[in-house]
Structure 1
Amino acid sequence: MKAALWIAVLLCPLTLPCAALSAAASATAPVAAQSRRSLSTQIDAVIRQPRYAAADWGIAVASLDSGRTLYAHQSGKLFEPASTAKLFTAALTMETLDPQSRIPTRLLSAAPIRHARLDGPLLLYGMGDPTLGTPGANPDWADDLAAQLAARGIEEVHGDLVADATYFSGPPLGKGWEASDLLGWFAAPASALSVHENTVALTVTPATVAGQPPQLSFAPGVAAPPLASTLTTAPPRTPDDFNLYRAPGDALLHAFGSIAEGAAARTYQLAIPDPAQQAGEELRAALARHGIRLTGGLRVLAWPERDDALRANAKVLAEVLSPPVSGILAQGLKRSQNLYLQNLLQLDGISAQAAAANQPGAPIGFLSSEAWGLRALHDLLERIDIAPSSVLMEEGSGLSRSDLVTPAAMTRLLQVIAMQPWAGALQAMLPVGGVDGTLEWRMRDGAATDNVHAKTGSMAYVHCIAGYVTAADGQRLAFTIMLNNYRRDDGEPSANHDVDAIVQLLAGWRGSD
């Protein structure tokens, strides 16, 4: 697929896992190191290959059993961590939120109910659940809410349906997210009222005759954006020239170029610009299905708008609950789901804001939910002796290139996590080498297979991994490996091949000095 440079979304067809596209073939298992010196020599041989001459490696490896640093290379230098930054949000979430708590999405109203009629507006109030409408997590959420309303005997809503996303304060995009990413599913806007992971699937099917426009279909159909398409079907075996563009802040999706006759249909996951609007549309349709007439229209409330009067004295008329926070976090780490971690950071921030409300020295003036979350993270880092200058986080997912972390700070975080009562739970949430998550197709052979539990992080020119592995002698290790500023030339193996080779060295190490 040829993608226009101005969108730079690298959209993965749904029929092919993104992890499989980015993963290199499993690294060949190296000869096990027998001493710290031989371990250092072998790692040095990997990172000093000529193809990395213009790149930067940062590595920090420590023993959880002895506390000793076993290997370090530029461990005090700041690197772009990509999605390994999610480990900081994960630790904050485990410290801040009850892992068994569930996030509600509610129908509220202060209006009286008379003769089967709700005499006033109905509020669809989101409180940060990023899983709403996903398989296994309330896929029929709108019908569930509508059915609860009908069970109260309500047959008419005499007023507007208001989709309210103001539980989060601040912009819907993480600080530092790049405009060129915003069409892709991985940069879906965070919202207190999220649905279907704030994405829509676009399927492109070429026409049976060259020169005719291909078929473009969206799922769910109610989420179809306004579309301007000049796409055409090219003769068979013609290279694809398929392009998508949506201007920042605009809902109109432009599609242009061509797709070859006879090519297989392709499906792409796109971010939707207004999740609350989407959720409201789905609930409005569900109300109609359940025989509830809406006399008014659909209205969306999003920051910085507020209408506190709508919630004053409002009662909960219906409610659906998310999976436990621990389950959301596990999915966010296994799949590297940016929306989940960005929403969790803001929920952490709301909790921190509430805790600080009556404390001396609380910040004066406006702070976004994201900023409150980052403030709470800063406080956590101070408590565990990680210098604030070694962790510069702008948001909760690692998508921002302004996020900077030292390998030493990341490994220190992993050491601290390992001492917490919830350490085992968090480790189980991490991808497992050769088994699942973003590591399913990596490290499928060798000592690291079904052994390493780690968070991956990949962006253009960035390849990172951080987590835990048990060495061949049973010693438990925490490690961080970061490669920045590397561009692979044609014919060279993926950088992940060498990142994985270093992890295999750690897994095979026998720990003697």
Structure 2
Amino acid sequence: MIRRGVPFVLVAMLLAARPVDMEGPTAQEPSALRTDGVESGQPSAGLSTTIHPGDGPGLEAGPVLHPRPPSPPLATAREALQRSIDGILGGTRWRGSEFGVLVVDGETGDTLYARQPHVALAPASNLKVLTTAAALHLLGPDFRWMTWVTTDAPIVDGVVQGDVILFGTGDPFLRPSRAEVGALDALAAALRDRGIRRVEGRVLGDATYFSGPDRLEAWDPRDLNDWFAAASPALSYNGNMVQLRVEASTAGSPPRVHTDPAHEGVAVDNEARTSSGRPASRLQVLRDAPTEPIRIVGEIQRGGRDVYRSMTVQDPVLFTAHGFDRALRDAGIRVVGEPGTIRESSRSPLAGQRVFTAGDHEVLASHRSPPLLEALAIVNIESHNLFADLVLRTLGRVEAGEGSYAAGAAVVEGFAVDEVGVGPDEVRLVDGSGLAADNRASPGALVAVLRHALASGYGEALLETLPEAGTRQLRRMARTPAARNLRAKTGTIEGVSALSGLVRTADDRPAVFSIMGNDLPSAWGAKRLEDEIGAAVAGWSSSR
């Protein structure tokens, strides 16, 4: 929610009336000249054009035709803000680090501070802002994913005479029953309520709605066991994660291994043993590659504490099929065969359609996900990579007919360039989450996309998905003017930190900003700089 007394509708109208010209004025377009006398991407009039230590390339002032400088108080205030931010960035003495920063007045579009605003840098999870805005613009906040249970086999006296197919379209919310009934249990109950009591075939997980790899080579191989690097097929379950609990048994015997969710579908090689005394080697849960079995090695002492480890699952589609198989059994439906998967669209009777139709299959049950907006809140507040990548691939499938990373990336890039007006060299997507180090976006691109969203009908919705400073969502900038004021997406990968969003200034004006740092010796040190800049903008006033 936009705070401090300025109605959102007024902000949106003002933003719409004064869009940022990301390409800058030209001699052929005199009307594009900025009223503060500078070209887009250059320091505002009233700011020093001196190159400060650490500024890097891209800050020299371009030619200005008959500038109309701002009033002296505003010019002085901007100079003060520039000195403040320059001092924050210049105090690091980090050699080789590169920063891009852009702060604009949300009402007028005027540049308040700029440093390399149009240089494309690795954005880390700030890329999620682009994915979120494109999804809200193209799919709408009320979009929902569907999951179907179908069969082409006859049903005689409550017995399915063949297989049942669990067909997914990218729902990131499928999870086991906890406080509420999970989707797979609800689907199983629907089959039971239809009078089905036995399946002569097996459960087949069909994720052919998406295409291409579910993991990317651009991701750091060291991350592939961790939750933030889970594969993203169209049929996903429990975040495609499993928790293992290793419990000591009798001395000399292998320890007991429990999984949560508690079902098959996870390959585990238990090479460990239970010791009667102090273990000779530490118990470890290992895996060299995400598609290999999980290995448990070493020793655990009898009577000692259990060992826990969460890991990505090797085959999320098979994992989900096992989850539905277990749900059917828990509902009292016997399934004769072992769960399996349909991996190629040529083998799927349901794939190859832009919009799902069951064809010759009978739909036994269906499940509708929560709305897209709930997923986007998880994308940004929890910085959930799987949710972001499933949204990206959904965009590819719905908008381009291909549910791949590449197709989804092209859709988001097209939205930024063609709809928002971002320069084509200022944005490049590899995934939808920002995990790949090869993703690129400029501060100017992120600011332009945010301003486009704020001027649209979904601006308020997008802002609500961004973490709020000084709260549990973003435990930073407490006891500063940014607390419960600034809303922004965080971002961190190795050597990269970023923060982009909106904050209201001391005189209650919205400021849209993006702060990006690359080749950093300390990402956490960079976050301190981001917090100082965010607080400085929140405490800044144009009248002093």
Q: Same fold (TM over 0.5)?
A: yes
Counterpart in 2 of 1:383? 419
1:111–1:205 CA distance, 2 compared to 1 (3 A): closer
How far off its partner does 1:52 sit?
1.9
* Pair 1:460 & 2:494 matched: yes
Q: Which amino acid aligns with 2:520?
A: Y
Counterpart in 2 of 1:505? 536
CA contact (8 A) 1:137 1:322 kept: no
Name the CA distance, whole Å, in 1 between partners of 2:96 and 2:310.
Answer: 34
Name the CA distance, whole Å, in 1 between partners of 2:111 and 2:129.
Answer: 20
How far off its partner does 1:147 sit?
1.4
> What is the percent sequence identity of the aligned residues?
31
How far off its partner does 1:150 sit?
1.3
Deviates more, 1:425-434 or 1:154-163: 154-163
| Larger RCO (CA under 8 A, 6+ residues apart) | 1
Q: How does 1:418-433 map to 2 (within 5 A)?
A: 418-433=454-469
Name the CA distance, whole Å, in 1 between partners of 2:83 and 2:301.
Answer: 51
Name the CA distance, whole Å, in 2 between partners of 1:260 and 1:39.
Answer: 60
* Pair 1:371 & 2:416 matched: no
What CA deviation, in whole Å up to 9, does each residue of 1:43-92 have, x standing for no partner? 11111124422311111111111101111112222211000000111011
Deviates more, 1:345-354 or 1:172-181: 172-181
CA contact (8 A) 2:211 2:404 kept: yes
CA contact (8 A) 1:138 1:320 kept: no
* DSSP-derived class of the 2:146 partner: strand
What CA deviation, in whole Å up to 9, does each residue of 1:416-465 have, x standing for no partner? 1111111001101110002133x1x2112210101111100011211111
Counterpart in 2 of 1:343? 390
* DSSP-derived class of the 1:395 partner: coil
* Pair 1:152 & 2:177 matched: no
Report the number of matched residues: 461
CA contact (8 A) 1:131 1:137 kept: no
How far off its partner does 1:195 sit?
0.5
Q: Which amino acid aligns with 1:470?
A: R
Name the CA distance, whole Å, in 2 between partners of 1:497 and 1:266.
Answer: 35
Which of 322, 326, 330 lines up with 1:285 in the alignment?
326
Q: Which amino acid aligns with 1:347?
A: T
How far off its partner does 1:261 sit?
10
Name the CA distance, whole Å, in 1 between partners of 2:219 and 2:181.
Answer: 29
How far off its partner does 1:390 sit?
0.4
CA contact (8 A) 2:137 2:458 kept: no
Counterpart in 1 of 2:117? 75
* DSSP-derived class of the 2:120 partner: coil
CA contact (8 A) 2:293 2:314 kept: no
Q: How does 1:27-66 map to 2 (within 5 A)?
A: 35-66=77-108
* Pair 1:474 & 2:516 matched: no
Name the CA distance, whole Å, in 2 between partners of 1:495 and 1:255.
Answer: 38
Counterpart in 2 of 1:360? none
1:194–1:309 CA distance, 2 compared to 1 (3 A): closer
* Pair 1:318 & 2:365 matched: yes
Name the CA distance, whole Å, in 1 between partners of 2:156 and 2:377.
Answer: 45
Q: Which amino acid aligns with 2:490?
A: T
What CA deviation, in whole Å up to 9, does each residue of 1:167-203 have, x standing for no partner? 1111111462222211000001001111001111234
* DSSP-derived class of the 1:150 partner: helix
Q: Which amino acid aligns with 2:198?
A: E
What is the TM-score with the length of structure 1 in the denominator? 0.82
How far off its partner does 1:470 sit?
0.4
Name the CA distance, whole Å, in 1 between partners of 2:85 and 2:496.
Answer: 19
Counterpart in 1 of 2:46? none
Counterpart in 2 of 1:408? 444
1:98–1:384 CA distance, 2 compared to 1 (3 A): closer
* DSSP-derived class of the 1:79 partner: coil
CA contact (8 A) 2:162 2:202 kept: yes
Q: How does 1:51-450 map to 2 (within 5 A)?
A: 51-133=93-175, 139-174=181-216, 176-203=218-245, 217-222=258-263, 224-230=266-272, 244-248=285-289, 250-256=291-297, 267-303=308-344, 306-308=347-349, 312-354=359-401, 368-381=403-416, 382-437=418-473, 439=474, 441-450=475-484
Q: Which runs of 5+ in 2 are unaligned?
A: 1-74, 352-357
What is the TM-score with the length of structure 2 in the denominator? 0.78
What CA deviation, in whole Å up to 9, does each residue of 1:342-398 have, x standing for no partner? 0011111111125xxxxxxxxxxxx55322222222221222110121001111010
Name the CA distance, whole Å, in 1 between partners of 2:542 and 2:502.
Answer: 15
Name the CA distance, whole Å, in 1 between partners of 2:123 and 2:274.
Answer: 40
CA contact (8 A) 2:450 2:501 kept: yes
CA contact (8 A) 1:34 1:510 kept: no
* DSSP-derived class of the 2:347 partner: coil
CA contact (8 A) 2:470 2:479 kept: yes
How far off its partner does 1:262 sit?
10
Name the CA distance, whole Å, in 2 between partners of 1:432 and 1:228.
Answer: 44
Name the CA distance, whole Å, in 1 between partners of 2:88 and 2:145.
Answer: 45
CA contact (8 A) 2:250 2:274 kept: no
How far off its partner does 1:506 sit?
0.7
RMSD: 3.1
How far off its partner does 1:146 sit?
1.5
How far off its partner does 1:119 sit?
2.1
CA contact (8 A) 1:155 1:293 kept: yes
How far off its partner does 1:136 sit?
7.9
CA contact (8 A) 1:137 1:323 kept: no
CA contact (8 A) 1:443 1:449 kept: yes
How far off its partner does 1:206 sit?
8.1
